[in-house]
Structure formats: C-alpha cells, structure tokens
Structure 1
Amino acid sequence: MAALSSPAHTAVPFSGTVPFFSQSASFQQLWPLISSGVEQVVAHGKYSHGRQVAELEQALCAYTGARFALGVNSGTDALVLLLRAAGLAPGEEVLVPAYTFIASASAVVLAGGRPVFVDVEPETYAMDPAALAAAITPRSRFVMPVHLFCQLADLDGIGAVARRAGLTVVEDSAEAIGMRWGGRHAGLLGAGGVLSFFPTKTLGALGDAGAVLTDDPGIAERVAALRHHGRGGRTLDHFPGISNETGLSGMNSKMDDLQAAVLLAKLTRLDADIARRGELAARYSARLSRILGITRLPTVITRNTDTVGAYYVYLIEGEDRDGLARHLAARGIETETYYPTPLPFQPCFAHLGHRRGDFPVAEAAAERALALPLYPDLTFAQLDRVCAAVEEFYTGGAR
C-alpha cells in the first residue's frame, strides 16, 4: 500500500496572532507515525473496536497503571457508561461540583440519575469536601469530583466524607491524564474514572474519543458490554445486556480505530508534551505575577508527597475579565471563558430551584476566570505577546 502523503499545511510563523489552540506543528512532526497507524487500520479492514483500539487500551493501562482501560467514543459517554456500570439506579443522586463543564452533570442525567451541585474550593476550582458533606441527602449514592485545569480535587478529604456517608466515588478525570495522587493515576482512586481525548485535551485525538479507567473487573465487564449494544459472546445476534437482574440495555459507543491510531502516535510524546505545558505555565506565571489587576494565577497544590499535576488549561482570574478578553481579541489573541454560567443556573437545571448566592465560590470564579492559550505548539514568542497584551490592559495603556 502506498504511503499516505504528508498533509499540505505547515506550521504558521508567529505573526502576532495567537490561537487558543493549535496542533499544526506537532501533527506535522507525528505524521509518519499517524500515517503508519492509519495504513494498519485499512490493512486490517476493521474500523471500529478493532486492533488499534485494543492496542491503545493496553497502552493506556501501561501508562496509567489501570487494570482496565476501555475505549469509547467520547469522554461524555465514558461518564455515562461508568455511572451505569457502577450501579447508579434511576433517580439516585450524584453529587457534582457547581463549577465544571456541563458534561459532568448531563452525564448523570443521561445515566438516569439526579445531579446535586456542590460548591468548590477557591484554590483548586474542585469540589469542596466541607460543602460536599453539607449537600448529602438520603438519596445520595455517588460523588463525582472533577479534576480541572492543572490539578486533582482533594481526594483524601472527599474520600473521607464519602466513606462516612456510604457514597461511591467516581472521578470525572477527563482532563487529568498524567495527574497522580499519592502515586496513583487520576481515575483510579475510586470505583473508576474517565479520560477525554477531545482534540484540545492533553492527549487529544482528531475528533471525539474517550476511555473508562477502572481496577474493578465487574465494572470493566459491564462497560465492555454496554458500549457495544449490551453484546455478549461473539455472535451477532446475542445481546443479553448485563444480566437479568440489572436489566441494563447497551448503547453504541465504540471507539473508531482511526482515532486510536492517532492517539497511539501522540502517546509517544505525551510526557514531553506535559513537560512543555509545564514550561509554558512557569513562564506565564513569572511574567504575569508582577501585574496588578491579576488576582489569581494557577498553581498545583501539593497535598501529599506524591501529588503530580499537569497543566491542561492556564486559568487566571483578573479584574474586568470580559474587558481583558475583548482587549486580547482585538490584538489577535484568542481566549476562553471557563465557565461563565455555573451549572446550577443553566436553563436545563432551572427546575432544581437554585438561586444566586447558593454557590459563592463557583459564582465568583465564573465572573473572573479566563483561560489563556496553552498547548505544546505555543512558542515563547507567542506567549510573551500574550503577556505583553495583558500587561498593557492592566497598566492602563489600552483603557
């Protein structure tokens, strides 16, 4: 089979425009590996749930230390499948942070549960153990901490509350590949966790993909069946679901082998990419720490000697966040607002009856937080351009 030609595009030299995310240069570098993987998919003739997916699952187990890694078609589906496989029953409550991407809560609804929102810590943007304890009700069954931006939630504190209340911990570790707590990889400190391979993630595909991580063989078996229409055995007409007792029906959430081929290629440089993100974050912090008007810079909080963070998003807080975003946009610098509306106040959760002031830390973050460009292909020259524009805004040169 003739080798696939390299993509026509090349990395664009820095010209003053800074995209929020780009992987053009790294994609160019990895193209020989990606091309080889795609050719193998075509040669094998199985384009979904095939050899490349199985190889990726093994590689993820080796990287994370998980006993089981199961490829699925998105991080959101991974959450739904994990909750269902872990035993969430219709109407049972799952405690989730008020400040996170909507998939953390919508997955609970899709799995048949009811989200109960919990305020977050100002230092980590992750679930506050004290607020968690106050939010538990008799119908609470699961707690789902979300690891955001560059570090893990307080798993010791959350775990202690969960044990006292008899709750099962499942982790929304979609952003947390490479992060560890007490030497264990994110997603493996409760019943299970997930990974998202959305293109902007630390390990990103060229489309949607995700995975469930767990050390529990029962959960792994149920996820394996549920992601493939509840299929059991190897015949095409045998769909028993999970068991007569659970009555769980399956769904179609198999991973595409083309995405697995891309991820296998990118996994070879994951540690280098994480290190590069750390270098960029350190340079940002050194430049921005002296600017008045910036009220918070990200940092990895070390709660134990084996805490390891990884910079997925570089999130700052500052005065007049929206004005800063407009200022940067006018200078060709893209940013993202994480997250302008806390989940309890989204229209889809209005029926839960929450009011402004119920989640003060999440609400404050929603008004002040802004994400700056951060990805391995970002150059120091581009980063310095971002910092100079931020400084210009806060020193009054643009206002």
Structure 2
Amino acid sequence: MHEVPCSSAVGIDDPPEGGAVPFFTQATSFADLWPTVRAHCDEVIDRGKYSHGGKVAEFETALAAWTGARHVIGVNSGTDALVLLLRACGLEPGDEVIVPAFSFIATATSVSLAHGRPVFADIEPDSYAIDPRRAQQAITARTRAIMPVHLFCQMADMAALDGLAREHGLTLVEDSAEAIGMRWNGTHAGLLGAGGVLSFFPTKTLGAIGDAGAILTDDPHVAETAMALRHHGRGGRTLDHFPGISNLTVIPGTNSKMDDFQAAVLLAKLAHLEHAIQRRADLAAAYTERLADVPGVRRLPTAVARPVPTDPVFYVYLVEVADRDALTRYLDDHGVGTEIYYPTPLHLQPCFADLGYGPGDFPNAEAACEVSVALPLHPDLTIGQVDRVCALISRFYSEGRRA
C-alpha cells in the first residue's frame, strides 16, 4: 500500500480525545451536505419518479466526467455491478474466472451468480492484490477472464495482468469496487480492460446512505448489454430490430436499477470527493507517523513499485500486527472500532468447498487473514482520535502483550 507524505493538514490543532472512536461515521460531513442533498431529493420528489429516473442519469453523467469513462451504468449494489458486468462481457456457464483468494466474498460469488466458476490465485503480500505469476499458473483451457481486485489504497499490477490477458486471449475485468479515484498512468480504475465496477456502500470513499453501485466501461456493447440487464433485459440498441416495441425482453435480465434518492446523495457528495480523498490521505499520513516505531505493528501501508505512475486513494488503512485478535478486543474495550479485512480467505469459505481447495493452498492470502486489521479512517475522523487510537495501540504492546 502507499505511504502518503505528511502534509500540513496532519498538524491540525486537535487535542487527543478520550471518547469512543467509531470505525465509521458520516454524521458531521452529512450534516454539512444536507442542504445540497435535500435540494437534489426535492427534485426527485417533484418529478415523481424514484427509480431509474432523471437523477440517476444526472449522476451517471457526472460520474462519467469525473472518472473519464465513456459509459456509466448505475445499479443497486456493487455486487450486482460485478454480476451484470461479467454477463455483459459474455461469460457463459462453466467459464472460469481467475480471482484473488483474498477479497470480499462478492468477488467470487459474483462469478458463481453469473454462472461461471471462480478459480483462485494467491496475492502479492505487499499490495494484497492478485499475483500475476500465480494467476498465470491458474490458467486452463476453460479460463475466460481474469478479475483483479484493487484493495484498500492501491491498484493491482495492471501492466502484467493486461499482458497476461492479451497473451492468452482472456477478458480483463476489474473489481474496482473500492477504487474510486485510483488511476493507472492517468486512466481511472475500471477502465483498463473490458470494464470495472464501483460500490457506493456507505463506508466507501464515495458512499451512499444505502446500497448502490455502478459499472464503468469504454466498450459500447458492454454498456448497452449491462443497461438492458439491469432493467429486466429491456432497452438500448437490443431493441432496434423491434421498432415500436418498448417492453420486449430480449435477454434474461434482472431488477438492479439504482434508485434516485441514492443518486441524489451521491451527486451531492461527488462535488466534495477530492476533499474527502485528501482528508483520508492526511489521516493515513498521521497514522503512519505515529505507528512507525510501535512494537508489535509489523507492517504499515507501503507503496508497491509499478511500471507507471499510479494514484493511491486510502479507502482502508490496513496494518499487520502481532496478536491481532487480542489487540482488537483491547481497542473495542476502549471504544475504538476496527474491522477485519478479511477473516477467512475465499478458497476456505464453505460455499466454495466443492471447488476442492484446502488450507495451505494460498499462503499469502491465509497469512493476511490472520494478522491484518483496519483502523478507523473516514473524513469525520479527527487528528485527536487518531492520536487516541495510536496511543492505545502503543500502550497495548508496551505492556508486553505478546509483541
């Protein structure tokens, strides 16, 4: 991951606080945005269309401009975005998709829900992203796609993965759910292959107040197919051969439309996204400065060398620590929220038992699940709260707690 240099914002005069530090809250920032949110919501109410309406289209246009994507398709969750993207890319029953063994469960279940077969590969221990060498070893005659995941603050090695996909005639699809704002040599995450996705789950860098997601792509065919799939297989150029008919279902689709109230919230927050990204970077720098010499903190977010310039964005501040579970209990006892990303690697999840994987198959993924923990990181977090979190971690290890 990326170590952000300290900036002047880290020195904000904000004394340590003794109260609880939630893992996530947006109470303050949302209150500040409320007048703008309400104005957008009033427009939705006045129009009287609450799903897949004008506000969604407005948000899609704004997000396309922000990311540089030619096409943005708003849907009701990041998970559905993955499923529909895989289907729009032509995944057929039984096709294999190579995914990392360390990720949120939706990375792999989306393949299953699109009627494909997930095939796991181990990760790079420093970036937590799929290791291109391990991905290459997983390719078989049935492999159709490779789906890297951009986790926590930086992108996977897209140069190596793109070369691998081209060499073997595979589709490159990005699980960029966490990656808004991340760019590879100027190109936004999700736009380096056939397409990618964004999740707007409330904790995300750009978060809604419920579930929402989007598909990003520069491919018009993928975009048109995804637009049809999200609306029961209707709409788009798929109906050009049936003039005068607007409700004919030409492909089996689903109901995965973004609702306009979520689009209203996202539009209001999109205008402040750059500030939110910078605030997260400043907070990450504060953590790095304070935890650099703490015994028991074994790894802080560090940059992984890539062949081109990349733009990291801190969605999660993930550290590797000694005696992780005891530390999280200690922090919880003192009112500090944490999150484990991820407690069980994908290949050991019960729902994939039939794939035949077992313990020891992907040691880097399994190790990450044992020692990593995410600390609070969101724009409402104060430097005083960072001080409190870091002081508690230092105290935990200074008291000889299995450092």
TM category, shorter: over 0.9
2:127, 2:156 within 8 Å by CA — same for their partners in 1? yes
1:226, 1:249 within 8 Å by CA — same for their partners in 2? yes
Match status 1:348 vs 2:342: no
1:181, 1:304 within 8 Å by CA — same for their partners in 2? no
Match status 1:326 vs 2:326: no
Residue 239 of structure 1 corresponds to: 248
1:53, 1:260 within 8 Å by CA — same for their partners in 2? yes
Amino acid of the structure 2 residue aligned with 1:123: D
2:18, 2:388 within 8 Å by CA — same for their partners in 1? no
Q: Counterpart of 1:212 in 2: which secondary structure?
A: strand
Residue 269 of structure 2 corresponds to: 266
Residue 165 of structure 2 corresponds to: 162
Residue 187 of structure 1 corresponds to: 190
Alpha-carbon distance between aligned partners in 1 of 2:17 and 2:396, rounded to the nearest angstrom: 21
Alpha-carbon distance between aligned partners in 1 of 2:398 and 2:46, rounded to the nearest angstrom: 59
Deviations 1:45-71 (A, max 9, x none): 110111110010001110000000010
Residue 388 of structure 2 corresponds to: 385
Aligned partner of 1:124 among 124, 127, 136: 127
* CA root-mean-square deviation: 1.5
Deviation at 1:235, TM superposition (A): 7.4
Aligned partner of 2:25 among 22, 26, 41: 22
Match status 1:153 vs 2:162: no
Q: Counterpart of 2:228 in 1: which secondary structure?
A: helix
Aligned partner of 2:113 among 92, 105, 110: 110
Alpha-carbon distance between aligned partners in 1 of 2:199 and 2:87, rounded to the nearest angstrom: 18
1:61, 1:69 within 8 Å by CA — same for their partners in 2? yes
Amino acid of the structure 1 residue aligned with 2:248: F
Residue 5 of structure 1 corresponds to: none
Match status 1:142 vs 2:145: yes
Match status 1:172 vs 2:181: no
Deviations 1:334-375 (A, max 9, x none): 100111100000000011111111000000000000000000
For structure 2, list consecutive stretches of 5 or more residues without a partner in the other structure.
1-15
Residue 260 of structure 2 corresponds to: 257
Deviation at 1:240, TM superposition (A): 3.1
Q: Structure 1 runs of 4+ off > 4 angstroms? A: 233-237
1:313, 1:372 within 8 Å by CA — same for their partners in 2? yes
Identical columns (%): 61
Amino acid of the structure 1 residue aligned with 2:112: V
Q: Counterpart of 1:39 in 2: which secondary structure?
A: helix
Residue 288 of structure 2 corresponds to: 285
For structure 1, list consecutive stretches of 5 or more residues without a partner in the other structure.
1-12, 242-247
Deviation at 1:306, TM superposition (A): 2.4
Q: How many residues align?
A: 381
Amino acid of the structure 1 residue aligned with 2:201: F
Residue 396 of structure 1 corresponds to: 399
2:150, 2:156 within 8 Å by CA — same for their partners in 1? yes
Q: Counterpart of 1:221 in 2: which secondary structure?
A: helix
1:20, 1:336 within 8 Å by CA — same for their partners in 2? yes
Residue 363 of structure 1 corresponds to: 366
Alpha-carbon distance between aligned partners in 1 of 2:97 and 2:112, rounded to the nearest angstrom: 9
